[in-house]
Amino acid sequence: MSGTDTTIARFRDLIDRYGPAFETWPHADDALWGRKLVMASLEARDIRDEALRLDALLARHGSRLDAEIAPDAADRIAERVLAALPGRAPEVRIWFSRMAAGFLVAALCGGLFEGYQSYSAQPEDSDIQLVEALVFGPAEVEMP
Amino acid sequence: MSGVAALAPPHDRRFQDAHAERMDARVPADLDPIAEDAALMDAIAGGNQRVFAALMRRETPRLLRVATGLLSSSAEAEEVVQEGFLKLWQAAPDWQPRARAGTWLHQVVYRLAIDRLRKRRPNVDVENVEAVLASADPMPDEVSEDAERDRLVADAMAQLPPRQRMAVMLAHYQGLSQAEASAVLEVSEDAYESLLARARRRLKELVAAALDAPGGRR
């Protein structure tokens, strides 16, 4: 490989790594060397021009990708994600507290109803004794 | 985010979001981007959905761009981005301020997209793909030269291995630094440069071959 070949190969590698804009190259001395080479070598200029064409094509491709994205996509995704959050702590707490309050109310109602039923279902002792006295006669019934 | 806030007019949604993020998360104005995102993540870990929504709106466009570029499907891209945000919410309590949230999200979206591509591959009928693509091609006279070149680049990008495609997109579209891009791909900066160089070389070959092919518009 001749010196010129080596120089061009190195230039091509740097262009492929960092792109055709010398100002974005990470090492200033490489960038300066590249600029000088482009001015001195037709082959180096062709390599740089080819990279510039690729950049332009890729920029168009990027615009095409952006055009595929729906304008409301960001809002839609944010809404969907918020609705699907697994650890929605405040809402979960509210839900649990509402559920607990529901149980409490149900338990109280149930207790009151049960108490009322027991109360109304249990006949007075005196009523029972009166009925038994009427059915079996006063001698059979132990009166208080 | 601070850059967006500085450039966008006050009525712009992104400006309002950026403002909401900072106010809600009580972010001091002079923080560096990583510390700033750490403050936002702290607010998100505390259950602040307003900050989370603002961060999602900030990051969605470029995540969707990269996911669409990898998956060639905007519907699947949306699903992957959505999944990425859910993972970010889950990761918030243990967030380590080593990188920007955007870099982390790029990494997650990339992994999720690669998983989908791997699952998709067994279903691809390799023998018939070219025939199907050819039958879908419009006649040369029907398309403009610009549209033809767009299609050609899209085809060339689709032929790159996903890792190389991602390297090109990170370098050309995503506005990430070299350090951030290499972090997304989980390689050293030097390895990322080499990957990018191989990808650009391959793209040039593919584009040149397509332009020189019969029907190509050299």
CA-nearest residue to B77 within chain A is A69
Q: How many CB atoms lie under 10 A from the CB of residue B118?
A: 10
Calculate how close chain A gets to B52, using CA atoms only, in Å.
8
Cβ neighbors of B163 (< 8 A, separation 6 or more) are B185, B195
Report CB contact under 8 Å: A86, B90: yes
Query: B19: pLDDT confidence band, cut at 50, 70 and 90?
Result: low
> How far away is chain A from the Cα of B211, in angstroms, using its nearest Cα?
13
Q: What is the mean pLDDT of chain B?
A: 81
**Over chain A, what is the mean pLDDT?**
76
- For residue B153, give the nearest of A61, A66, A76 by CB distance: A61
Report pLDDT for B175: 86
By three-state DSSP, how is residue A88 classified? coil
Confidence of residue B213 (pLDDT cuts 50, 70, 90): confident
User: Nearest chain A Cα to B85, which residue?
Assistant: A81
Higher pLDDT, B52 or B136: B52
Tokens 């690669």 sit on residue: B114
DSSP letters spanning chain B: -HHHHHHS-TTSHHHHHHHHHHHHHT--TT--HHHHHHHHHHHHHTT-HHHHHHHHHHHHHHHHHHHHHHHS-HHHHHHHHHHHHHHHHHHGGG--TTS-HHHHHHHHHHHHHHHHHHHHGGG--HHHHHHHHHHHSPPGGGS-HHHHHHHHHHHHHHHS-HHHHHHHHHHHTS---HHHHHHHTTS-HHHHHHHHHHHHHHHHHHHHHHHHSTT---
Q: What is the DSSP letter of A22?
A: G
Query: How far, in Å, CA of B97 to CA of B122, rounded?
Result: 39
Residue B205 touches partner A, C-beta closer than 8 Å:
no
pLDDT at residue B98, as a whole number:
86
Distance of alpha carbon B118 from alpha carbon B164, whole angstroms: 16
